[in-house]
Structure 1
Amino acid sequence: MLQILRKLFSAHKNIMKHLRISAHPAAVAYSMTTLGSSMMNSIFSFYYVKLFLNKYRISEAAFHQSQVVYMIWNALNDPLFGYLQDNSNIQCCSLRRLSILYGAPFYSLAFLLTWFPWRDYAPEDWLSGVHLVVTLCAFDGMLTFVLLAQCALFAEISEHHHNRVRLIKYNQVASLLGSSSVLLCGLVSNNMDNFAAFQGFCFLVAVLGCICMVYTGLHSEGRFDRKYSDTDSQQPALSLSSVITMTWQIISNRDFQLFVVMNFFQVFMLAFCNNFAMIFVDHLIPADVLPSLAKSFMYGAGFICPQLLVLSSQNLLHVFGYYRLILMTFYVEAAAAALMLLLGPNHHYCLALFITANMILVQSAFSLFGLPLADIIDADLEKYKRSSPLSSMVFGTNALFTKPGQSLAPMLVVAILNQYGYEDIKDGKVTEPSAVNALHNIMFYLICIVPMCVTAVQVIAWKPFSIRNSHTTDSKYTEG
């Protein structure tokens, strides 16, 4: 473990040294928040469901109640923080870099809340339900506050397509490094079997993540930062009617509506893959076919390879644009799921490959979603002749409709699995082969049928999207 930690620290020092001499300091500063957040987010999304279901042994009712509270908070905090960051007179809210700088320590502390139980939980302990509610709300609240500011920076650092593609390139490098935390965590903790090592690794990740985000807070700057700073003292607070009008203008945008529908199902799929990949693999692929070490690399590949795929497709982005590439991933996902369904659950290596590939495709497409949202922000700025873009409000309003997918996925899947005895089987209360086979069958059908149905809806929603050729236009207005 010590050798792995030394290598991680050494790699971090080398990265920081390289970043200081980079030719694109704005892109580096922007991507450091991605590096810190992806280290924490990858571990959180991958492990928290299994931790609370299998180790803390939370009841199904408490799990669902926690997810409902989380769904409501998750939807409301994005437009709330979006309004504050676009319209507040307080610089720690209105200046993107300061939102990241001051939010980073609280973000890291919220991440650590998950991994340290408040006592030795008995099965179906009420306190484990409270722990999950607090964990989800605190982590998502700080994640939203910090990453909403970073999303706004994406649109505000530059309005040129080639500069935004460069930001995505740096972002994917940072995400690639950050996502390796899942692989390293699996190796250090034997896929969470060594819980003390798992906790120690999470503490290290929280510290490194905070340092990375503070770097962004100290060195990043958007095109409109000076304007926010100069006008903060005399800028009047917006009336409720103005806020409602601006929100309606955003929601009434046809392209925004299409994007939101497509993005909702992508968020659902992302939660489905990240939260349940480990549970599905543990049940469907025997240990003698895929040992623990191989599973660690498989899980790591699901988080690392999406960034490699996006980085390798930079030329395709310039030539074909994000619209066609995103559409193509939907077709590939559906075809792969149909093929796996035809092969059946007994082709274990094919199943492992399919689960990994599906994680990669879903995350790869999701990594490009900043581009259509940035184009929607540009179109809104130009259409309504605004003095500055409503970046945070657009991202926050998008999240209002899409974030519930993060809660709906685990709620629906856990409810379906428990209908087939998952709660009793995982605790060893039921061992009959027929019950276990029924559970494994429903797991396999979920793995195949959910992607097929979701991508069908996404194709229908995404095809009419009209902003398809921003990659061919260098500039729509003069950058100031």
Structure 2
Amino acid sequence: MSHSTNNDLETDSSRQIFTPMKKIGWGIASLGTAIISNTYAGLYLFFYQDYMGLGENFMYWGQLIYAIWNAFNDPLFGFLSDNSRSKKGRRIPFMRYTAPFLALTFIALWLVPSSLSEVGVFIWMLIGILLYDSAYTIIGLVYSALLPEITEDNNIRGQLSTISSLFGLLGTIIGSLIPGIFATKMEQGDPQSFYLFVIVIAVFGAFFTMITTYAIKERPEFTKIDAPVPLLESIKLTFKSKSFLILVAGNFMSILMSSLLLGSLIYLSVYVLGADHTLTLVPLFVGIIIGVIVINPIAKKLGYVQTQQVFALIAGIPLILLTFVPNIIMYPCLFIAGFGLAGPQVLTNILFAQVSDEDEMKCGVRREAMFFGVNALLTKPAQSIAVVIVTGLLSMANFVKQVDGVSQFQPFQAITNIRIFIGLIPGICMLLEAIILQFYPLRGKYLEDVNDKVLQMHEKKYVQLKQMS
């Protein structure tokens, strides 16, 4: 079946023509979730360990319990979404009605009563991150799962992913500024304005997320024609996919890199560069934005997985250099690394879409959410590992915590270890990702064959849907 035939089908009300406004409507959810998630990522360690003074043992236990919970909730939510047969769809209702709960749990994370003991703070933190992560997981899963099924065209997928990434970067920039605002407000003895700002972030984040649920329509043939797959069979099929396992291994390295770099960048600003946090963010995000804008045309010519490998190498080398270069050279290194980080920012979900296409070709059913759920199961521990690495290296170096919200002078080893978990380890992760993806099979002629067969299957499902109607 040709691509033109598929485009003809998209003129029907059950298919979508992606006008510029619809593309913006798709991407706006990424702004909402990115504002919230990056505020959380950049503030979580700094707030609970440095400001609240929670000990390393409590932080370790919190991450262990969090990781265990993630072992259950991601595939479970993915399975529930894939097998939902709601009249409103199997994706959008989950996303729409979870957004307000995400806002509420996010706000609660930072409103820790001052009267609590250290154990009380730990319990508050633990319950907060479990509830927050559950809401974020549901929204992230269904949003990611929507991309592969609303269009088969990898070019359109790339355009939507680019728009989503640009909105996500805007949210990331906003979210990454929050730790600096937090530190300033606490040093000024003005926590109330910070808490108000967090509430505003949560409300707008949830609102932007809900906009997408009204701008995008699900394709009903996958709900009405595809038969539900039992849980154990779905898990078995997922782990039988070689393409999926290789992609997850590469993505694990990417998640570990981003968790270390973005989650701890404030340490580089405050303790190594001694600069305003915004000055550290600017070269990194300018590089990412430029990379996001140019990467899709490059991927169309070079291939999506090949482009991912190239950009991983571009990111990895300057990240490693951050460990050794003088402070002034760190800024151009951050810019080049940011350009390379556009790879995982834009292309990862497109590669998962290809994995879903291959799986549908083999088993006849689209199961995107299960793939994203198991991916999260296998990669989210990277976030906990990043916390352990950061807290462990700081503890080994006798890192001096804040006193009454004021940053303290640090020993030389602490500065060295900050460079290691900001630069050396993330850089090695990106080089490993490039090597791992060399074994990814969905490329060239085989990928073209998968695309053609999936288009034929979708035409048959669409005809069945018309007959049912």
> Which category describes the TM-score, using the shorter chain as reference length?
0.7 to 0.9
Farther-moved stretch of structure 1 (22-31 vs 112-121): 22-31
AA aligned opposite 1:84 = L
Q: Unaligned 5+ residue runs, structure 1?
A: 1-21
- Aligned to 2:53, the other structure's residue is in SS state coil
Matching residue within 430, 433, 437 for 1:462:
437
The one of 368, 377, 380 aligned to 1:403:
380
CA contact (8 A) 1:91 1:98 kept: no
Structure 1 range deviating more: 296-305 or 100-109: 296-305
How far 1:226 sits from its partner (Å)? 5.3
Q: Residue 369 of structure 1 aligns with which residue?
A: 348
Moved more, 137-146 or 126-135: 126-135
> Which residue pairs with 2:232 in the alignment?
244
Q: Deviations over 1:17-67 (max 9, x none)?
A: xxxxx9345433322211211111121111111011111111111111111
SS at match of 1:196: helix
Aligned counterpart for 1:421 among listed residues 391, 394, 398: 398
Answer whether contact 1:36 1:210 (CA < 8 A) is retained. Answer: yes
Provide the residue aligned with 2:123 in structure 1: 130
Shift of residue 354, structure 1, vs aligned partner: 3.1
Letter of the structure 2 residue corresponding to residue 334 of structure 1: G
Q: CA deviation at 1:276?
A: 1.1
Instruction: Give distance in 2, aligned partners of 1:305 and 1:84.
Output: 38
2:305 is matched with which residue: 323, 326, 330? 323
Task: Identify the match of residue 419 of structure 2 among 431, 444, 458.
Answer: 444
Q: Residues 89 and 203 from structure 1, CA distance in 2 versus in 1: closer, same or farther, beyond 3 angstroms?
A: same
| SS of alignment partner, residue 369 of structure 1 | helix
Alignment match, 2:261: 273
Alpha-carbon distance between aligned partners in 2 of 1:108 and 1:393, rounded to the nearest angstrom: 25
Deviation, structure 1 residue 335: 2.3
Q: TM-score, normalised by structure 2?
A: 0.84
Give the direction of change, closer, same or farther, for the CA distance of 1:355–1:51 in structure 2 (3 Å limit): farther
For 1:412, which of 389, 410, 421 is the aligned residue?
389
> C-alpha distance in 2, partners of 1:171/1:471?
24
Match of 1:72 among 68, 90, 97: 68
Which SS does the other structure have where 1:95 is aligned?
coil
| Letter aligned with residue 367 of structure 1 | V
Letter in 2 for 1:444: R
Q: 1:116 to 1:144 in 2, by over 3 A?
A: same
Are 1:152 and 2:165 an aligned pair? no
Alignment partners' CA distance in 1, 2:263 and 2:416: 19
How far apart are 1:75 and its partner, in Å? 2.9
Contact map agreement 1:161 1:471 (CA 8 A) in 2: no
Q: 2:370 aligns with which of 383, 387, 393?
A: 393
Tell me which of 145, 163, 166 is aligned to 1:173: 166
What CA distance in whole angstroms lies between the structure 2 residues aligned with 1:303 and 1:76? Answer: 34
Q: Please give the alpha-carbon distance, in whole angstroms, between the structure 2 residues aligned to 1:437 and 1:115.
A: 32
Say whether residues 1:195 and 2:195 are aligned partners: no
Match of 2:134?
Answer: 141
CA distance in 2 between counterparts of 1:307 and 1:158 reads 25
Q: In structure 1, how many angstroms separate the alpha carbons of the residues matched to 2:378 and 2:75?
A: 10
8 Å CA contact 1:112, 1:202 repeated in 2: yes
1:322-379 per-position Cα deviation (integer Å, ceiling 9, x unaligned)? 2122111222233224444453xxx112124435654563464243200110000000
Percent identical among aligned pairs is 19
Q: Hey, what's the Cα distance between the residues in 2 that align with 1:191 and 1:91?
A: 49
C-alpha distance in structure 2 between counterparts of 1:308 and 1:110, whole Å? 34
What TM-score do you get using the length of structure 1 for normalisation? 0.82
The answer as to whether partners of 1:183 and 1:300 remain within 8 angstroms in 2 is: no
State how far apart, in whole Å, the 1-side matches of 2:339 and 2:51 are: 27
Change (3 A) 1:390 1:425: closer
The answer for the alignment partner of 2:35 in structure 1 is 39
